Amino acid sequence: MADTWNVQGKTVVVTGATSGIGRETALALSGMGANVVLAVRNQAAGQETAAIIRRVHPGANVEVGPKLELAQPSSIRSFAKEFQKQKRPLHVLVNNAGANYMSDGLSEEGVPLLTQVNYLGPYMLTRLLEGSLAASAPSRVINVSSVTHRYGLIDNAASFLSRSATAVGGQYPATKLGNVLFTYELQRRLGHMGVQACAVDPGAVSTNIYKDSRLFMRQPLKWLIENLYAPPRDGAAAVVHAATQPWQRQPRRRGLLSKQGSGPLLNQRSNSDTWFFARGTFAWPAITGFKGQQEGIVGSLRMQAWAIRALSLSALDWPLRRLTRGKYLSVTKAVPSAPASYDQDLAAALWDLSADRCKLPREVSV
């Protein structure tokens, strides 16, 4: 990547921008001079968000794009078609929109709705816009993942995208692992064209994603989320960093993973860089060093120990940053993602099968 990166005057699309991390990301990037397109399903809420941004940043270049409903492949196609009709550049695509605790159901293509919204929808949108991204290079795709991807499991691509498969460890973590696998495969396939891809863990953030959870809306977890988790503005910091800062390269050592927190991670087989950003305690080795779920009693005990450690650190992250007024735990770093996210065979198979489900060519079309 270039030594400098400035979003001023560049076109940025942010999905899920009517609340939470998406709204704060759009607000921050508008304040930096970007031409921001809000890709949302609720157009009225999108107009309200645009009005808020203009009040905070008078003269901001922000607009509500065509309706985008990630649960409906036809809506994704319509959004991409209308965007490309305008023949405008696309320098940054922020795939932020996501969900959890959705009711059972299938998309138009027969994919479980949560998998469709969190994984296949962003995949399809990115693929349909890959021509605009390549033509605008250098450009970036930023996929918002989660710390939960570290215990997500995907046995194989077909089961992940099928109704019959409820991923071990939970469907939501599996979709977030899918985000990272897609990110790295995107980097391998489009990186040489100047389209750079990264995944981001925004940390523990108090957003609407918990509102439909029976577990997290009960005490004491509800109190923890409302009082100890970061507000969306703080949670957006890692996403904004990925969109606006140069991705510094550091000396790398041979092997799959570089030194934690020091720079990009070397992909052994393709020699391409893979990027995963995290901030505060979520960039600590205590979190990033987890090897993923393992079989047996020992594996179960390790999983439980990591879960307790992760929950404890998530409750300390924002309070410590707030108490020190940002002097502590504010740095965003490139860190190792889950070991499972570096499975190139699985990533390639998932890419190809996703293309088939979306009725798209397996090979990039630029």
Catalytic residues: 172
The beta-strand segments (E) located in 51-159 are: 62-64, 92-95, 139-144
The beta-strand segments (E) located in the chain are: 11-15, 35-39, 62-64, 92-95, 139-144, 195-200, 265-266, 273-274, 276-279, 332-334
Q: How far apart are CA 183 and CA 173, in angstroms?
A: 15
Those residues whose C-beta lies under 8 Å from the C-beta of residue 300, and which sit 6 or more positions away, are none
Both tokens of residue 231?
Answer: 């507000």
Residue 213 phi/psi, 5° resolution? Answer: -90, 125
Q: How far apart are CA 74 and CA 338, in angstroms?
A: 32
| Among the listed residues 16, 19, 17, the one whose alpha carbon sits nearest the alpha carbon of residue 206 | 19
